[in-house]
Structure 1
Amino acid sequence: MMKQKTFLLLVVVIVGLVSITGFLWFVFRPTTDATAVVESTETITPPIQPTTLIPDTPTPEIQYPLPSEISGTVIELDTGKQMPGALVQIQGKPQRAIADQAGFFQLTGLEGLLAPVTITAWSDGHFVGWTTLDPAAENYDPTQPVQITIKPLYQTDNLSYDWFDFEGVEGSASCGLCHREYAEWSADAHSQAAINPRFISIYRGTDINGNESQPVRLGSEGAPLPPDPALPYYGAGYRLDNPLRAGNCATCHTPIASKIANTNNCGWSGCHTDLTAERATQVDYGVLSYPLSGDAAEGITCDFCHKVGAVTLNPETSLPYQDMPGILSLRLYRPDEGAQVFFGTVLDVPRRVSVLPLQTESAYCAACHYGVFGGVVGHGQVSGGTLIYNSYGEWLDSPYSDPENGMTCQDCHMRVSDANYFVFPEKGGLERDYVDLHDHRMPGAADVKFLQNAVSMSTSAAHEGDQLNIEVNLTNDRTGHHIPTDAPTRQMILVVEAFDANGNPLTLSAGPVLPDYAGDLANTPGKSFAKVLRDEWSGEAPTAAYWRPVTIIEDTRLAA
């Protein structure tokens, strides 16, 4: 019987665990001996036998001895001009050089140093620039001098800048991902400037628990009347007096609370009412200091301080202009999209940074530690105002401001840290034993130990008949400003007590006693050291309502 030819086309699909891994086509056809012959269009490869993987052994970085001297030039990007006076340093090493008039530098004393190394350079008004010397690089030529290019700082200030964030973390906490100083700053008063309960109570007119004083009653001449003794009263409040005005507190306490230009005196001074701002196209709303949220609630932030590139001072007085408190006296470098800069004091940082020697000078602190209140604000001055904050001016007038033998604000309030790094080592930070790195806790009025070491005290006692004469001397020999300073709510109180052999207190027969405003210590033997203000509207003294017309009726502070 004749066998019928039959053609069968079969597709075999080999399926892996997830996806199709291959196709093989087979054709089956009859043969004369009825034996099936399989023909394939692909070569069948025998299965691969598994092998043991041997991990790669990391190749150690090859280091080469540096010559004892390295020379080169520092030039400016785009212009190519030479940069005389530029500072040059090897990263992680103390060796430095200063470029001459031709921008030429020479680093010496490099015996024992190994390459590759990064060399950084900086000149005033520029970013830090750098280059890497790596003998293993293809383009390395030891016969050629080194050339470092530095880029000028951008001259804009982006008012729309969103303050720094990193890896999804907002605000100053983003700095804490890498920097040890964040924990120190968090314990410092600058980080609390916008939420300090004493500040908020004065601004709002509340006690520190938020209980609000009675509404302000105005007399026939528009001045506040004395408070009603039948109603709660916790002291005057700026917003109680001025419910439609923001005031200028934000210029120092929360300078990132607004994106209006810091050349806009009217907006930041907050002297215009909300109604004026609503109806006048050329007048901005003021900047409220309460309530706040987000970055603004952090007060003086890390990013804000490291964006300050200059401070404007009156050349005739060396003080800030009276109508330019806080942010109004600061030149900020808020970057455009894609740009960035952080000012600091360390040169050998090959990042988007610039060096700012001003950060080591007292003038850096001036804008927020000098303030005239009240009066009529004019161009550069406040006529008829009262000098309230003046720790910077007090320092200027003291021996501490002597450039040869004096001390800066930073010498006392930002002592050199025991730490020798500012970026955590596990984040790639270098140990730098050759440069001063400063503590950012900035102790001040809230630090008991710091205050206890602010003055020197000596005492003497002598019998005279049946009396005991006691003399107490306090000397301001450890502080570069008056004690106490700045906020007129502060006072230093000396209490003197004497006891007989049986521990019984002796009665004062002659000598000063503490005033009524000393609270529970009133009429106790001693002395109060304070700047005492009288409110000319209400007659209240002492008062902290220094936005009202006030008179300094007593200043018993210890001068620097």
Structure 2
Amino acid sequence: MNASDSVVLTAWAPGYYIGGGRSFLPGDTAIVLALHAHHQSDNPNYSWAGAHAQFGNPNNCQHCHAAAGDANAGLPFDDWVLDAHSGSARNHRFLTMYLGTDVYGNQSPATRYGYSRDYGAFPLSPVYDATWFGPGYRLDFPGTAGNCAACHAPVAAIDDAYGVDPVQLSGVEAEGIGCDFCHKVWDVKINPGTGMPYDNRPGVLSYEFRRPPDGHQFFAGPLDDVAPGEDTCTPVQKESRYCAPCHTAEFWGVTVYNSFGEWLDSPYSDPETGQTCQDCHMPKGLTDHFARLDKGGLIRNPETLSSHRMPGAMDENLLRNAVSLSATGWLENNEAVVEVNITNDKTGHHVPTDSPLRHLILLVIATDAHGDTLRQIQGGMLPDWCGIGDPRQGYYAGISGKAFAKILEELWTGVSPTAAYWKMTRLVSDNRLAAFATDVSQYRFRRPDNGSVRIDVQLFFRRAFRQLADWKGWSDADILMEEEVMNLDQ
């Protein structure tokens, strides 16, 4: 460096705000970097700062962490608004499942109950007529708010995890999993015996917070050189356990969400050779500053800055790089044979993961030279919950292939697959692809007397069971993850 080049010096120690932030020249002496201890308790009376810019409030994140006129610059606010976390409290799938409505506000009838002398009241199966718009938590438990907000609306639920109605939210509480919430997390309460959050402690119940006292601010993050200001470093924000409270959940003794536990049980959790959740979902190297330069932001090494877009189940690029598929085909006597291998070689948890509504659909279609479908004589066929109807419209029941899903069944009604996992359920099956697992399936078709055979193999990700999506009015398109086409000549 040149003698005229200045250097910004900072210092940090656990329990203190990051100090320094002033520029010095080579040869400067008597340099003092003062560290000030931050508070060690949580202030439940803290007023949350909203992420979106509001008139008269300079603390809103958008003012400094959004690019002026360039939403693709990779600044945190711009990424966050494109991420599912910012919409967690207003997600149409979440709200329609909570209320028992479709996207137009039509609500299913309240749950009906029978009575047994031995068991008392028990739920009955719904009547699937024109008045049914799918299940809903409030249909089954109309007198309670539930604990949904503990993850979906944590700002509102932080001091009342079981008493927040997600439908009644407004302002910063409706911003979902917002900036100020995440940067007030100080630690995660993990059971040392299991490495998992404690039972029945979803979302905010498993976090430790540091909301500041009046007259102060407090931002905890993964960097130890953000100064001057009331910022500090907390290593947990770079660790997978930071994600655990909202990415593992158990209802009535049945594990429903568990992407964190799946990661923990996989080689990806090895501290020496593995990868964290943040490595994949908050990749580094996409920008060289996290605050606007005209607001005091500094140019930094891009490899130290994490993206806040957090790609997940709605990100096509992530899904198309989640697994590997290979297919081979051959002609054998009077049959066309296809073997498909799918390996989860790129994902640190099961594929698909978390919500049990999600599933993969493998389609294996054999046609002759005229485009007519060949008759299947051996191999799996897709179940009814892949949709009964026109395959051209995405209804694939009865077509050759395989579905990968976690299937739950309601104990009292026998409804399966169920989306109402807040009820008592049992696990029927789970053939999702664990990390580094391979699935092999084979299909045989009656070959034509002459001409070539075309084999189309496609693997799709689907957000929800087709019948449920129709009831609710959800229109999320299937995402093509992998595809192979083969021509088998006579």
Q: TM-score, length-normalised on structure 1? A: 0.70
- Equivalent of 1:440 in 308, 319, 331: 308
In 1, the alpha carbon distance for the partners of 2:157 and 2:419 equals 26
**How much does 1:171 deviate?**
9.2
Contact 2:86–2:175 under 8 Å retained in 1? yes
Query: 2:210 aligns to what?
Result: 333
Relative to structure 1, the CA distance from residue 133 to residue 457 in structure 2 (aligned partners, 3 Å threshold; closer, same or farther) is: closer
Question: Per the alignment, in what secondary structure is the counterpart of residue 60 of structure 2?
Answer: helix
Deviations along 1:189-215, whole A, 9 cap, x unmatched? 000111111111111111233221112
Relative to structure 1, the CA distance from residue 323 to residue 504 in structure 2 (aligned partners, 3 Å threshold; closer, same or farther) is: same
Contact 1:164–1:170 under 8 Å retained in 2? no
Given residue 400 of structure 1, which amino acid in structure 2 is its aligned partner? Y
Contact 1:115–1:133 under 8 Å retained in 2? no
State whether structure 2 residue 85 is matched by structure 1 residue 190.
yes
In 1, the alpha carbon distance for the partners of 2:50 and 2:127 equals 49
**How much does 1:253 deviate?**
0.5
User: Which structure 2 residue ranges, 5 or more long, are not aligned?
Assistant: 66-74, 388-394, 436-490
Query: 2:461 aligns to what?
Result: none
Relative to structure 1, the CA distance from residue 336 to residue 387 in structure 2 (aligned partners, 3 Å threshold; closer, same or farther) is: same
In 2, the alpha carbon distance for the partners of 1:470 and 1:216 equals 46
State whether structure 2 residue 63 is matched by structure 1 residue 177.
yes
Relative to structure 1, the CA distance from residue 143 to residue 255 in structure 2 (aligned partners, 3 Å threshold; closer, same or farther) is: closer
**How much does 1:418 deviate?**
2.1
Deviations along 1:115-138, whole A, 9 cap, x unmatched? 6544211011211011646579xx
Query: 2:123 aligns to what?
Result: 224
State whether structure 2 residue 419 is matched by structure 1 residue 544.
yes
Query: 2:485 aligns to what?
Result: none
State whether structure 2 residue 49 is matched by structure 1 residue 164.
yes
Deviations along 1:416-469, whole A, 9 cap, x unmatched? 142100111122211112652111111110112211211000000011111101
**How much does 1:497 deviate?**
0.6
Relative to structure 1, the CA distance from residue 442 to residue 171 in structure 2 (aligned partners, 3 Å threshold; closer, same or farther) is: farther
Matches within 5 A, 1:393-408: 393-408=261-276
Contact 1:256–1:296 under 8 Å retained in 2? yes
Relative to structure 1, the CA distance from residue 113 to residue 169 in structure 2 (aligned partners, 3 Å threshold; closer, same or farther) is: farther
Query: 1:152 aligns to what?
Result: 37
Higher Rg: 1
Query: 2:13 aligns to what?
Result: 123
Contact 2:291–2:297 under 8 Å retained in 1? yes
Question: Per the alignment, in what secondary structure is the counterpart of residue 461 of structure 1?
Answer: strand
Deviations along 1:133-172, whole A, 9 cap, x unmatched? 6579xxxx9554x332212220221112111159844899
Query: 1:358 aligns to what?
Result: 236
In 2, the alpha carbon distance for the partners of 1:528 and 1:534 equals 17
Relative to structure 1, the CA distance from residue 173 to residue 445 in structure 2 (aligned partners, 3 Å threshold; closer, same or farther) is: farther
**How much does 1:539 deviate?**
1.0
In 1, the alpha carbon distance for the partners of 2:158 and 2:166 equals 14
- Equivalent of 1:235 in 104, 114, 134: 134
Relative to structure 1, the CA distance from residue 491 to residue 442 in structure 2 (aligned partners, 3 Å threshold; closer, same or farther) is: same
Query: 1:532 aligns to what?
Result: 407
- Equivalent of 1:372 in 250, 269, 292: 250
In 2, the alpha carbon distance for the partners of 1:189 and 1:316 equals 32
**How much does 1:333 deviate?**
1.0
Contact 2:158–2:205 under 8 Å retained in 1? no
Query: 1:489 aligns to what?
Result: 357
Query: 1:247 aligns to what?
Result: 146
- Equivalent of 1:302 in 158, 171, 179: 179
Contact 2:21–2:226 under 8 Å retained in 1? no
Question: Per the alignment, in what secondary structure is the counterpart of residue 432 of structure 1?
Answer: coil
Relative to structure 1, the CA distance from residue 127 to residue 340 in structure 2 (aligned partners, 3 Å threshold; closer, same or farther) is: same
Relative to structure 1, the CA distance from residue 464 to residue 259 in structure 2 (aligned partners, 3 Å threshold; closer, same or farther) is: closer
Deviations along 1:274-327, whole A, 9 cap, x unmatched? xxxxxxxxxxxx122223211111110011001101111000001000121111
Query: 2:226 aligns to what?
Result: 349
Given residue 325 of structure 1, which amino acid in structure 2 is its aligned partner? P
Relative to structure 1, the CA distance from residue 340 to residue 119 in structure 2 (aligned partners, 3 Å threshold; closer, same or farther) is: same
In 1, the alpha carbon distance for the partners of 2:433 and 2:335 equals 29
Contact 1:171–1:295 under 8 Å retained in 2? no
Contact 1:130–1:148 under 8 Å retained in 2? yes
Query: 2:440 aligns to what?
Result: none
Contact 2:284–2:303 under 8 Å retained in 1? no
In 1, the alpha carbon distance for the partners of 2:57 and 2:93 equals 24
Deviations along 1:259-286, whole A, 9 cap, x unmatched? 62xxxxxx42x3xxxxxxxxxxxxxxx1
Contact 2:409–2:418 under 8 Å retained in 1? yes
Contact 1:116–1:132 under 8 Å retained in 2? no
Compare 162-171 and 507-516 and name the one that shifted more. 162-171
Relative to structure 1, the CA distance from residue 173 to residue 156 in structure 2 (aligned partners, 3 Å threshold; closer, same or farther) is: closer
Q: Which runs of 4+ in 1 moved over 6 A?
A: 170-173
Question: Per the alignment, in what secondary structure is the counterpart of residue 366 of structure 1?
Answer: helix
Question: Per the alignment, in what secondary structure is the counterpart of residue 123 of structure 2?
Answer: coil
- Equivalent of 2:334 in 448, 466, 485: 466
Deviations along 1:45-88, whole A, 9 cap, x unmatched? xxxxxxxxxxxxxxxxxxxxxxxxxxxxxxxxxxxxxxxxxxxx
Relative to structure 1, the CA distance from residue 173 to residue 458 in structure 2 (aligned partners, 3 Å threshold; closer, same or farther) is: farther
Deviations along 1:391-413, whole A, 9 cap, x unmatched? 00000010111111111111111
Contact 1:127–1:354 under 8 Å retained in 2? yes
User: Which structure 1 residue ranges, 5 or more long, are not aligned?
Assistant: 1-110, 261-266, 271-285, 375-384
In 2, the alpha carbon distance for the partners of 1:553 and 1:465 equals 38
Question: Per the alignment, in what secondary structure is the counterpart of residue 481 of structure 1?
Answer: coil
Matches within 5 A, 1:30-41: none
Instruction: Tell me the C-alpha RMSD between the 2 structures.
Output: 2.2
Question: Per the alignment, in what secondary structure is the counterpart of residue 356 of structure 2?
Answer: coil
